[in-house]
Structure 1
Amino acid sequence: MQTHFDTIIIGGGPGGLAAAYSLAEQQSVLVVENDLWGGTCPNRGCDPKKMLYSAVEALDNQQALQTNGLVGTSAINWSELMAFKRSYTQQIPTGTLNGLQHAGIQTVTGTAHFSDTQTLQINGDTYTADHFIIATGQTPTLPTIEGHDLLQTSNEFLDLDRLPEKVAFIGGGYIAIELANIAVTAGAEVHIIQHNEHILRDFPKVLTHKLVTSLQEKGIHFHFDTDVTTITQTSNQLTLSNQANFKLTVDAAFAAMGRKPNIDQLALEKAGVTANQHGIQVNDHLMSSNPRVFAIGDVVDRVQPKLTPVAGFEGRYVANQLLAKKTAPITYPLIPHTVYASPQISQVGVSVATAQAAPNQYRINQQTVTNWYTFNRIQESDAMVITIFDNQTNQLVGAAAYTTIAEELINYFTNLIKHQTTATELTDTIYNYPSPASDLKYYY
C-alpha cells in the first residue's frame, strides 16, 4: 500500500477535485473523503436545490401567463420531484470515485487528522506527503438554543420524502430564502424567522425589499426582529418560542443561520496550521501557516463568496503553484452570484452599497424594466436592473438584477465588465433579436 504522496488532498468536493485532476498527470495524488464523494454542491447543495427549483420556475412562468394565453395551472408532486432530484444525486458519489480512480488518482474513504506537520492518520493508517491541500468545505450550523437538536438543516430538506404541511426556516440568507421559496411553491405553509429586519444582507436593499414583497404575495410569512430561544416537541409538531411572546407551531423547522468550516477533526494544531471560527487562515498564495499545507474553497477564511466555482478556481491555482506553473499571488476574477428565488436576484462587480458610498467615483443607473419588451413578453410583474459605471472611464464596473432571468443577465454583465465593453461596441454588435442580449446596450 502506497503511503507517501507528492500531494494529499483532504476533501473530495469541487475544490479538491479541481486540484487533484490538475496535479494527477505529474504527481502522485491521494484524495481523502469522509462523507459523500463529490462534496456538498452536487450531493446536497446547489445542484439538487436547482433541480427542485426547476419546478418552481415552471410554475412561476405558468402563473405569470395566466389569462395571457395559458389556461389552467399545474401543481408540484413532491415525491416525483424528489425522485427527479435523486436520479441525479444518487449517481454522484460513485461517479466521482470512478472518475478519480480512472485518472490514476488514489482514494481513501475515511476521516483524516494530522499527527504532525507532514503526517496524516486515516483509518488507523499513516500517510505522509510533500504537500497537503485542505478542501473540507463547510457544514450547516445549529443555534445554541434549548431544543436545537430538534432542528433540521438544508441537508435534510433537500432529501425529504414528504414535504411537511407547515414549516419554518430560521435565518434570512441564501439558504432560507431559496428553500422557503421551493416549499411554498410546492404547497407548504412557510414561515421565515429573521433576527433583524433584512434578508440577503450582501444584496441591494432596494432589490431585497422587492423580493420580500414578492415572497409574501406567494404566501411566505416573515417574522422580522425575532429570535427563537426555545424549541419544544409536542406529539409530531415543534413549537418555536421566545420570551417576547413569540410562539409558532410547525411540522418541521430548519436552521438556515450560516455554515461553519469543517476543521474540527483535522487536528490542525498538530500540523501548525492557524484557523479561527471563519476557517483556515491563508496568505495570498492560499498557503497556511505551515508552508506544506494549502487550503481552498469554503474552509478558507476569506472575503470572496463561498461558491463552487470559486473553490474550483482556487484548486486549479494551488495545483499550478505546486507544479511551478504559477508563482504570482492569487487574483480573483469577477464572481457573479445569484439567489434562486421568485424572482431571482443577481449581482456582480462593484456593489450598489460601494457605489452609493463613493458618488464621486461611481455612477448608478437604476432602471425599472418591467415594461420593456423582454419582460413584458414573459409578463414580469416587477423587474429592475441596476448598472454601475466608473465616472472617470465610463466603464461598466458592476451590476445587479431583480428578475426571473437575473442569472442570464448577470452572466452577460460579467462578460461586459471583464472585457470593458463600451456602449458603442454594444451598438455595433448584433445579437439574436428579440432577446435579453439584444437589450444590453440600453443598460448603459
Structure 2
Amino acid sequence: MADFDYDLFVLGGGSGGVRAARWASMAGAKVALCEEYRYGGTCVIRGCVPKKLMVFASQFTESVEDAAGFGWSHTGSDFNWPFFIEKKDREIQRLEDVYAANMEKAGVTLFRARGVLSDAHTVELSDGQSFTAKHILVATGGRPFSPDVPGIEHTISSDEIFHLEEQPKRILIVGGGYIACEFAGIMNGLGSKVTQFYRGAQILRGFDDEVRGHIAEEMHKKGIDLHVGRDVKSIEKTDTGLKVLCSDNTWSEHDVILYATGRKPNSKGLGLEKLGVKLDRHGAIEVDEYSQTAVPSIYAVGDVTNRVNLTPVAIHEAMAFSDTVFKGIPTPVDHACIPTAVFTQPEIGTVGLTQEEARDLYDIEVYRATFRPMFHAFADRDQRMLMKLIVDKDSRRVLGVHIVGPAAGEMIQMVGIAVKMGATKEDFDRTMAVHPTAAEELVTMRDAVPG
C-alpha cells in the first residue's frame, strides 16, 4: 500500500469540514485541513450565527412596543449599529477560536491556505506546500450569486451586510428566498426603511403555499414594502444614493441594495473536473449516498454538493462520511423529512411535505388553525399564527407539519422527531396538550379542513 502524508485531507473549514476532520481524527486517522478564509465557514462567520444575533437585536423594537400593552411605560431609543457590529465581531472571533482549538485538541493539523487538487491523492496549497492523502474531502461550501445587471457592482451580498460600518436608512433587498426574507425582517426591525423586490409571483418558493401567503401578509403588516413580480433592470450611483430602474419602468432610490438571489457551490478552480470528478450544470459536486464522487479517493459534503444546504445537514453528512471511511460502518445519509426553520418575522418551522407536494402523492386531509397567540392578543398586536398538519387519509401518517409564529423553530425540532418516526394523526390526538401554549394547537386540531 502506498504511503501518504495523511489519511484524510479536508478542503474547507466550515461546519461540514470541521466535523469531518475532528470525527476522523478521533477515530484514529491522521488528518489535515486547509482553509483560506476563517474557520467556521458560512454558518459561523457570515450566515446562521451572525444572522440569528441580528434577528434577536431586531425583535426588541416590537418587544418594547408590546411592553406597553402589559402595563410598562417606556421611552424609545435608536439602535446603536456600530456597538452591535463590534460586539457581534467579537462573538464570531470567539467561536472561530473555539473551532480551531477543538480541531487542534483532536489532533488535526491546520493550514491557513487555499487547497487545490493536482491528482486524486495530492493537495497543493497556496503557500507552496504539497501533501498526499489516502482520502480527500471537499467541503468548500457555497458563495452568493448575483445576476448580470448593469450597476451590479454597486450592490452587496449577504456576506457584506454583516460588516457595514453604518446602518442604511433605506435598503432594497432583491430576492424572495429565505435569506432575502430574513434580512427584510431584520433590517425593518432595526429601523431601516425596507423595500423588497422578488421577480416571482410569491416569496419563499418551495415552501407550503399557504405559509408563503401568510408570511407575505405579515411582512406587509410590519411595514416591509414587498413587491412580487418586480425586478431590477439597472442600478445607477448618484450623489444621493443608488437609483434603481425597475422592471415596470418605475424608479426608486436606496442607500444600500442587498442581492439575496441564491448561492452557488464553491467548486470552481479546485482542479476537480480534470481528475474525473463530475459536476452538475450549477457546479455542484455529484456524489453517491455515501458522499463519494466518481473518483474513489475524493468525497464531498455540505453546500458544495447542493443536496440540502443546511448546516446540520453538512454536519450529519460529515459524520456519516467519517463513520463510513474511518470506522468501517457504511452510513448513507437520509435527506428525507428534515426539519428546518426560517427566521423571518414571524418565523417558520416546517418538516415533511407541503400541502401541494402531498396532494400529488396521497389522498390527504389538512388540519389547520390560525389564531392570535395569547401574548399578541393581550398586547393588542395584530399578528396571527398558522399551524397545519398534512395527513395521509389511508395510513393516517402525518406527512408534514408547518408552523408560522413565535418559537416555530423550537417547536418544529420536537415535532420533527415524531414525523420522522412516522407518527399518525391519532398519535398526535392521544398526546396531552400543554396549556396555555401555542404549541397545544398541534395536538388539539380535530376537524379536517373541508375539501
When normalised by structure 1's length, the TM-score is 0.92
3-state SS of 2:399 partner: strand
Q: Which moved more, 1:211-220 or 1:289-298?
A: 211-220
Partner of 1:190 in structure 2? 194
Residue 104 to residue 358, structure 1, CA distance change in 2 (3 Å): closer
Q: Tell me what 2:359 maps to.
A: 356
Equivalent in the alignment of 2:149? 145
Partner of residue 284, structure 1: 289
C-alpha contact (below 8 Å) 1:152/1:254 kept by paired residues: yes
Aligned to 1:18: 19
Q: Deviations over 1:192-249 (max 9, x none)?
A: 1111221101212222222222222222112322221221211262112146423221
| Alpha-carbon spacing, 1:357–1:218, altered in 2? closer, same or farther (3 Å) | same
Write the mapping of 1:353-432 to structure 2, written as runs, cut at 5 A.
353-358=356-361, 360=363, 362-370=364-372, 376=377, 381-422=383-424
Identity of paired residues, percent?
27
Q: Deviations over 1:369-405 (max 9, x none)?
A: 336x577467662111001112222122210011122
1:135-185 CA-to-partner distances (Å, cap 9, x unmatched) read: 000011121111211111111112222111111111111111111111111
- Secondary structure of the structure 1 residue equivalent to 2:59: helix
Counterpart position of 1:107: 110
Matches of 2:136 and 2:155 in 1, distance apart? 35
Contact 1:168-1:192 at 8 Å conserved across structures: yes
Cα separation, partners in 2 of 1:268 and 1:308, compared to 1, 3 Å: same
How many residues get paired? Answer: 439
2:305 is aligned to 300
SS of 1:94's equivalent in the other structure is helix
Q: Distance in 1 between matches of 2:336 and 2:214?
A: 29
User: Matched residues in 1 for 2:59 and 2:338: separation?
Assistant: 24
Write out per-residue CA displacement over residues 261-295 of structure 1, whole angstroms, 9 at most, x where no aligned residue.
11112011232211131411111221111111111
- Alpha-carbon contact 1:355-1:364 (below 8 Å) kept: no
Whether contact under 8 Å (2:151, 2:235) holds in the other structure is yes
In the alignment, which residue of structure 2 is the partner of 1:165?
169
Q: Which amino acid aligns with 1:393?
A: S
User: Structure 1 residue aligned with 2:346, among 343, 355, 367?
Assistant: 343
User: Which among 54, 58, 61 is matched to residue 60 of structure 2?
Assistant: 58
Matches within 5 A, 1:307-326: 307-326=310-329
Alpha-carbon distance between aligned partners in 1 of 2:215 and 2:420, rounded to the nearest angstrom: 28
| Residue matched to 1:222 | 226
**Structure 1 residue aligned with 2:185:** 181
Give 3-state SS (helix, strand or coil) of 1:248's partner: strand
**Is the Cα–Cα contact under 8 Å of residues 119 and 127 in structure 1 kept in the other structure?**
yes
Corresponding position of 1:80: 83
**8 Å contact from structure 1 (residues 118, 271) kept in 2:** no
Which among 85, 100, 106 is matched to residue 97 of structure 1? 100
* Shift in alpha-carbon separation, 1:353–1:332, aligned structure 2, 3 A: same
In structure 2, distance between residues paired with 1:35 and 1:261: 16
Partner of 2:10: 9
- Asked whether the 8 Å contact 2:387–2:441 carries over to 1, the reply is no
CA drift of 1:3 comes to: 7.3
Q: CA deviation at 1:10?
A: 0.5
Farther off after superposition, 60-69 or 314-323: 60-69
Give the conservation status (yes or no) of the 8 Å contact 2:358–2:399: no
Aligned counterpart in structure 2 of residue 254 of structure 1, from 255, 258, 263: 258
Partner of 1:211: 215
Mind listing any 5+ residue stretches in structure 2 that lack a counterpart?
Answer: 447-451
Q: Aligned in 2, Cα 1:317/1:217: closer, same or farther, shift over 3 Å? A: same
CA contact (8 A) 2:232 2:244 kept: yes
Distance in 2, Cα, partners of 1:374 & 1:216: 21
SS in 1 for 2:195: strand
**Contact kept? 2:338, 2:352, Cα under 8 Å:** yes
